[in-house]
Amino acid sequence: MNYSNNIMKITETFSSIQGEGPEIGANVFFIRLSGCNVRCEYCDTEYALEGGEEVSIETLAQKIRAAGAPVVLTGGEPLIQKDEIMKLIGMLPEIDFEIQTNGTLEIFDAENVRWAIDIKTPSTGIDFEIGNLDKLTKKDWINIVVVTTDDLRWAFKYIGESIPEHLLVYITPAWGKMDSRVIWDALVEKGDVRTKMGIQMHKYIWGEERRR
């Protein structure tokens, strides 16, 4: 997706709780970018896959400064607007960003960015950009969403064989499709101490309400 250098396609902006990952529970400012390069069967943000409002990067920077909180760029898939994101982040070196990406596109280096990167299970038919693993650091986190017990078995195998020890990994149940107790029991049974169970805290508080 190519927009003018100074315009981004945005579905919504809002302040809410960081519902996932190592900063869970923090007050953050979300920017939900529009469009995605894949289609997951369990997608919970289908309203962001098409359309969106054209907003200038300068306007977004003003909103971020006014929010006075760390920023989460989510989607959709933010990296289909990679050039514009890099410009926005470069304008705000004093702001901490987390970028939540589906893992299929190449990430980039930036001091003020923490990556939250998905690795899709084989049942989705979506390939991970394997080169991204070498670019992740201790401050980043990996998320594997599981829908079935086959996904869960694959996740443990993949973590053990392919994910470097220093990286933080969460296994998250697909909302409404996988029982989180099954994941927890499997984690305990395996004695896997470096993998954590992901919980989408905002969904436990507000269900599927938007802008939460």
7, 17, 24, 38: which one contacts ligand SF4 (CB under 6 A)?
Answer: 38
Site for ligand SF4 contains 36 (CB under 6 A)? yes
Backbone angles phi, psi at 73, to 5 degrees: -95, 120
> Would you state the structure tokens that stand for residue 120, as one six-digit string?
């899709």
Stretch near ligand SF4 under the rule CB under 6 A, chosen from 71-79, 184-192, 193-201, 202-210: 71-79
CA nearest 100: which of 39, 178, 35, 20? 20
* Residue 9 C-beta: closest distance to ligand SF4, Å: 13
What letter represents residue 132's amino acid?
Answer: N
Site for ligand SF4 contains 43 (CB under 6 A)? yes
3-state SS, 106-152, equals: CCCCCCCEEEEEECCCHHHCCCCCCCHHHHCCCCCEEEEEECCHHHH
Backbone angles phi, psi at 98, to 5 degrees: -115, 135
Site for ligand SF4 contains 77 (CB under 6 A)? yes
* Residue 100 C-beta: closest distance to ligand SF4, Å: 8
Stretch near ligand SF4 under the rule CB under 6 A, chosen from 11-19, 38-46, 60-68, 194-202: 38-46
Q: Which residues lie near ligand SF4 (CB under 6 A)? A: 36, 38-40, 43, 45, 75-77, 102
